[in-house]
Structure 1
Amino acid sequence: MRAMLALLYGLMLAALPAQPAAAAGADPYQEDRKALLKVFREIEAGINDQNIDRMVAQMTPDATVTWLNGVTSRGHAEIKAYYHRMMKADNRYLDKYLTTAKVGAPARFYGNGEVAVADGSTEDEFFPVARGPFRLSSRWTSTSAKIDGEWKVVALHLSSNVFTNSLIEEAKAAAIYAGIGGALGGILVGWLLGRARKRVMPN
């Protein structure tokens, strides 16, 4: 009888619907990833709105930012000063700067999940004061910390390929055009000098 009951119990268990995968397979940082993505989207929106206060609100007071031109700003005051110098001052370099950011891979968590490192790419469009707009493909890396239950950016590093980019290609094209123009100019000058000599030479 016991053997029969054990068999029936086994059949009942086999007939039950499969249970979801164990929690071990779930992402323990799923909510943290959502919070980090919100932080990054706020920074992106702040850049596109030309709103530096919106950007630094997502950073710790002592955050470090290394910009595309290699300048490093430490703390909110320096970050704001750099932005003002580049975007707002009378002798500013840019009228506007737009970006579209993407996350390259899932963030990595350290220190009991209190520190996160992420990286990705941006497609940037710059509107300089002294010339027409241009586009640049860039990379970013960030380190964020969970402080009092909120994620804040501690360090942000921006970089671009200094060997292959739209400005380099533009400079190459300008050099080619200048070379062609110089060659044509030289030919024209030579032809004009030749004609002038023929006119002054006695028959």
Structure 2
Amino acid sequence: AAQQPPAAAPAPSPAFPAQGGAAGDDGVIPWKPPTADVFFAAAQAAQGHPAPLGRRLAARLIDTAVLALVTLAVALPLWSTVTDHIDAKVEAAKQSGRQVTVYLVDGTTAPVFLTILAVVLIGGGLYEVLPTLKWGRTLGKKLCGLRVLDIESHDTPETAQAVKRWLVYGVLGVVVVGVVNALWCVFDKPWRQCWHDKAARTFVASEAAAD
């Protein structure tokens, strides 16, 4: 008997994707769902962008105002001790009839100045470090929609990073180099880091991009 030719393989159905993403019989490439979450990828890409400088300045001004109010609340009751003591020294110098140098810092005023400095460094450290560890942002940054992130993991900074960030910022501010530190982010690329960010390996991002 004559042998029958082998049956041809059935053509792929248009309802299912052709192997390798090829088009079906009707020339239409079937839709395939994306293997990656496009929304997550877009958010992840946006996460790496540093925050606008104007919002960073506004956040820093708010945080500085809060710290200044706390410092004034502590300093004002103590300041009368300083002024009264200096006035007494000046009056004594006048009464002596001799030219006398009146020093502002002595055994009476030094403890007051050290107390005020401790409030700035320790109080400011608590204000900056604790919220940064918990939420990645201070009050000023929250109001301005900013967040401090680790430069590599893009996550909330760890304790050592947050402490180092504040110490560099606070010490530079005390020795009046803080202005240069704060302005450094204007010229820095690509992360717009200040010196305290470079020391802590952090950067400031927009909160929308960080979420």
TM-score, length basis structure 1 = 0.28
**TM-score of the pair, normalised by structure 2:** 0.27
Greater relative contact order: 1 or 2 (C-alpha under 8 angstroms, separation 6 or more)?
Answer: 2
Give the structure with higher Rg (CA): 2
Query: Which structure's residues are more often helix, by fraction?
Result: 2
Q: Name whichever structure is richer in strand by fraction.
A: 1
